[in-house]
Amino acid sequence: MFWLYLTVICSVVATSAQQSAPPPFDIRIDHYKVDTTKDLVINTPRPGLSWKLPIFTERNVQQTAYQIQIQSDIDKWDSEKILSSRSTHVSHENMKDLQSSTHYQIRLRVWTTLSGQASSWTNWIQFRTSVFNLHEYIMQKNDDVYWIGSTQIYMNELRKEFNVSSTSPIRTATVLISGIGYYELYVNGQSVDPSRKLDPGWTTYEKRTLMVSYDLTSMIKGGMNAVGVKLGNGWYSQEQYVPPSASEPNYGPPRLMFALSIVFVSSETMSVVSDQTWKGRQGSIVHDSVYNGEIVDSRNDRVDWAKVGFNDSFSLWVTPEIMQSPINVAANGQLSLQDMPPIRAGVDALQFEIDNPLNLENSYLSKEDLAGIQGGNLHDGGVLKPISVSTPVLGVHTFDMGQNMVGWCRFHFHGPRGLGIYIRHAEVLAQPVESTKQSYGGIYTENLRGATQTDSYILRGDPNGEIYEPRFTVHGFRYISVYGSPVGLSVNDVECPVVHSQTTVKGHFASSNPIINQIQHNVQWGQLGNSMSLPTDCPQRDERKGWMGDAALTVNEALYNFDLIKFYLNFLNLITDIQLADGSIADTVPVTFGGYPSDPNWGTALPTITWQLYRHYNDEQILRDHYSSIRAYVEALRAGYKNTGLAKLAYHYGDWVPPPPQPMTNVYLIASFAFMHDVSLLINMSQIIGFTNDTQAYTGFYTQLAEEFHRVFFTPSGGYYADGMQAAQILALALPNVVPASARDSVFQHLLQDINAKGNHTSTGIVSTAQLFPLLSDNGQHNLAVQLVSSTTYPSYGYMFNNPYENATTMWELWDAPMEGPGMNSRNHHMFASIGAWFYSHLAGIDFQSDLIVIHPRMVSEDKKHLLSKIDCQLNTLYGLVHVSYTRDERNTFANSILLRVSIPTNAKAHVVFEPLFPNAKCVLLTESNKVMWSITNKDNTVSHDAQTGLMTVQIGSGEYEYQAFWE
Element (H, E) at 321: strand 321-323
Residues 623 and 729 in one domain: yes
What are the DSSP calls for 614-664, one per residue?
Answer: HHHH--HHHHHHHHHHHHHHHHHHHHHHHHHTGGG---SS-S--PPTT---
Residues 426 and 444 in one domain: yes
Predicted confidence at residue 937, as pLDDT, reads 85
* pLDDT by 10-residue block (mean), the chain, 968 residues: 37 47 97 96 96 96 97 94 96 87 97 95 97 91 91 98 96 97 98 98 98 98 98 96 85 97 96 98 98 98 97 94 96 96 98 86 91 95 97 94 98 98 97 67 93 98 97 98 97 98 98 98 98 98 97 98 98 98 97 94 98 97 98 98 98 97 98 98 98 98 98 97 98 98 98 98 98 98 98 98 95 96 94 98 92 95 97 96 97 96 97 96 95 88 90 96 97
Q: Is residue 506 domain-resident?
A: no
Residues 852 and 806 in one domain: no
User: Is residue 705 within 8 Å of residue 676, measured between CB atoms?
Assistant: yes
Residues 486 and 566 in one domain: no
762 phi, psi to nearest 5 deg: -100, 160
User: Is residue 479 within 8 Å of residue 430, measured between CB atoms?
Assistant: no
Q: Is residue 589 domain-resident?
A: yes
Domain edge (last residue) among 281, 305, 338: 338
Q: Is residue 76 domain-resident?
A: yes
**Cβ atoms within 10 Å of 20's Cβ, excluding its own:** 12
Positive or negative, the CA dihedral 471, 477, 481, 486 is positive
Vertex 833, ends 829 and 836: CA angle to 5°?
Answer: 155
What percentage of the chain exceeds 90 in pLDDT? Answer: 91
pLDDT tens column, 175-197: 999 999 999 999 999 999 999 99
Q: Is residue 16 domain-resident?
A: yes
Number of domains into which the chain is organized: 5
Predicted confidence at residue 763, as pLDDT, reads 98
Domain edge (last residue) among 843, 861, 893: 843
Predicted confidence at residue 375, as pLDDT, reads 97
Residues 730 and 812 in one domain: yes
Q: Which domain holds residue 112?
A: 2-128
What CATH number did the domain enclosing 714 receive? Answer: 1.50.10.10
Beta strand pairing call for 396-407 and 475-483: antiparallel
What CATH number did the domain enclosing 439 receive? Answer: 2.60.120.260
Residues 517 and 416 in one domain: no
Residues 725 and 828 in one domain: yes
Q: Is residue 961 domain-resident?
A: yes
**Rounded distance between C-alpha atoms, residue 860 and residue 868, angstroms:** 7
What CATH number did the domain enclosing 897 receive? Answer: 2.60.420.10
Q: Is residue 363 domain-resident?
A: no
Residues 177 and 271 in one domain: yes
Residues 702 and 748 in one domain: yes
Vertex 344, ends 342 and 349: CA angle to 5°?
Answer: 105
What percentage of the chain exceeds 70 in pLDDT? Answer: 97
Closest CA to 600 of 557, 644, 538: 644
Predicted confidence at residue 434, as pLDDT, reads 60
Q: What one-letter code names the amino acid at 503?
A: T
pLDDT tens column, 91-116: 977 888 999 999 999 999 999 999 99
Residue 756 region by backbone torsions, left for phi larger than 0, else alpha for psi between -120 and 50, else beta: alpha
User: Is residue 280 within 8 Å of residue 157, measured between CB atoms?
Assistant: yes
**Rounded distance between C-alpha atoms, residue 476 and residue 406, angstroms:** 4
766 phi, psi to nearest 5 deg: -70, -30
> Is 613 in a helix, a strand, or coil?
helix
447 phi, psi to nearest 5 deg: -75, -5
**Rounded distance between C-alpha atoms, residue 499 and residue 279, angstroms:** 31
Residues 736 and 768 in one domain: yes
Predicted confidence at residue 850, as pLDDT, reads 75
Residues 833 and 867 in one domain: no
Q: Is residue 760 domain-resident?
A: yes
Residues 691 and 565 in one domain: yes
Domain edge (last residue) among 60, 93, 128: 128
Identify the burial level of 362 via C-beta atoms within 10 angstroms of its C-beta, where 0-12 means exposed, 13-18 middle and 19 or more buried. middle
